[in-house]
Amino acid sequence: MPDQTRPRGRRGLARHGRLRRRGPAGALVTIVASSLAVLLVSGASLAAIAVRDVTSSVSTVSLGNEAQVEDESIEAITGGANILLVGSDERADQSSATADTSIEGQRNDVTILVHLSQDHSQLTAVSIPRDTMVDLPACTGEDGTAYPAETYVQFNTSLENGGLSCTVATVEAMTGLTIPYAGKITFDGVIEMSNALGGVDVCVAEPISDRDTGLTLDAGTHSLQGGQALQFLRTRYGVGDGSDLARISSQQVFLSAMMRKIISGGTLGNVATLYKLASAALSNMQLSSTLSSPDTLVKLALALKDLQPADIVFVQYPVVDDPRNSAKVVPSTADAQLLNDALAADTPFTLGDAATGRGSEADPAAPAAPAPAPAETTAPSTATPGTGSTAEATAPATAPGAPAVLPSTITGQSAAEATCSVGNG
């Protein structure tokens, strides 16, 4: 598979071509909002009851890797816990009441790898661009069907190649990580959660106008909920350079604001809101059998309950333009290896002076975000380049006990950073 090491900056890059849509909900929404929120808020006793209530009706699926964690508790896994969260386009052109969740051809248009460190000091959410060209490993589908390996395939087709278990296998092959937990969610969860919160305040640096989603927002701060929140999370051509990469960074603006509201805005003290959030997320999810137990979810929630916004890091998986097709991307070998190594080593890190991404920028009116607390471990400073790489990515040196600082070519932000979505106006 081709790979490049030229980093992608935010400005002056070729625009990715518009791809054929699979329906108005194609290239769906980010699902980490619902998933992270329910895990964070479920630590409260009544919300834990909500988890037990709602999980009784949640559909489950086997990943075929249950033996990897059968003797381990999710909050105590050596090296930290990895959870893959998937949002699919399976409900495109369907109403909530008539959706057929078994429809063939569904794609994972949003895929986020969540890593909870073993000491519970950091949660990392890595968004994998849907247009990334990858090699699909051989895998066994949810119905037991064997699927052969394929080369140079668009990443978001992995879900239709056997379901959630095959998407997990693909990400494991990309990252070298073991991923024993997974969940798939529909867009209804995002709508219901934004309503339960009474809206999420989002900063827009430049006006957004997107005829595809119908979203129009002036510059300024907007409280988004319901259908408008969904439009914001779905908009691609209304932000940055119109690429899926721009959408990822714009989504991180929403997610960071949402997490700040949940953690710092009094939500954790409101029992009724907690119940609504837990119900909204879980009632719209399919969970792996390893994650479906109420006890597992509550233990995970308790492991997350002390996290602050600065401890939650959103990262875009490093990619560069695909030399075969300007509308696609491929992993940026050295940077991707560095990120994979940091996650595998359970190394705490920050993004340093990294750009927030193509569809967002720092809010100039916001105070500086607090730095995360010093960690007990130090990170390896150099990543091993992959096959075909001509350069080596090196993380800046850090003081003993401080988190590693990833190179500025790896983009993202912490939930503590106030950022603005950059519209196309």
In a domain, 274, yes or no: yes
The beta strands (E) that lie in 37-141 are given as 59-61, 81-88, 108-116, 123-127, 133-136, 139-140
Q: What confidence tens digit (pLDDT) does each residue in 176-196 have?
A: 999 999 988 766 776 777 888
In a domain, 43, yes or no: yes
Is residue 310 scored above 70 in pLDDT? Answer: yes
In a domain, 296, yes or no: yes
In a domain, 61, yes or no: yes
Tell me if 20 sits within 8 A of 221, measured CB to CB: no
In a domain, 12, yes or no: no
pLDDT range class, residue 401, cuts 50, 70, 90: low
What domain count does the chain have? 1
If one compares 74 and 190, the residue with the highest pLDDT of the two is: 74
Is residue 143 scored above 50 in pLDDT? Answer: yes
> Which pLDDT score, from 0 to 100, does residue 381 have?
37
Give the β-pairing of 349-350 and 404-405: parallel
Reading the block at residue 31, the tokens are 């699902």
- The torsion angles phi and psi of 52, rounded to 5 degrees, stand at -65, -40
Element (H, E) at 360: strand 360-362
Lowest pLDDT segment from 142-151, 154-163, 308-317, 350-359: 350-359
Is residue 419 scored above 50 in pLDDT? Answer: yes
Core vs surface per residue 146-180: b (16+ CB within 10 A) or e = ebeeeeebbbbbbbbbbbbbbbbbbbbbbbebebb
Is residue 342 scored above 90 in pLDDT? Answer: yes
Query: Across-strand partners of 192?
Result: none
> Which pLDDT score, from 0 to 100, does residue 181 have?
93
Q: End-to-end CA distance of the chain, in Å?
A: 37
Q: Rounded CA gap, 122 and 57, in Å?
A: 31
Which CATH number goes with the domain that contains 355?
A: 3.40.630.190
C-alpha to C-alpha distances, 22 to 91, 106, 130, nearest whole angstrom: 10, 9, 14
In a domain, 165, yes or no: yes
C-alpha to C-alpha distances, 154 to 24, 107, 167, 331, nearest whole angstrom: 20, 10, 12, 12
Q: Rounded CA gap, 214 and 247, in Å?
A: 15
Residues of the chain with pLDDT > 70, as a percent, come to 71
> Which pLDDT score, from 0 to 100, does residue 59 have?
80
In a domain, 5, yes or no: no
3-state secondary structure 271-339: HHHHHHHHHHHHCCEEEECCCCCHHHHHHHHHHHCCCCHHHEEEEECCEEEECCEEEEEEEEHHHHHHH
Is residue 105 scored above 80 in pLDDT? Answer: no
In a domain, 13, yes or no: no
If one compares 177 and 377, the residue with the highest pLDDT of the two is: 177
Give the β-pairing of 146-147 and 139-140: antiparallel
Is residue 3 scored above 70 in pLDDT? Answer: no
Segments forming the whole domain that contains residue 74? 32-422
pLDDT range class, residue 220, cuts 50, 70, 90: very high
If one compares 120 and 55, the residue with the highest pLDDT of the two is: 120
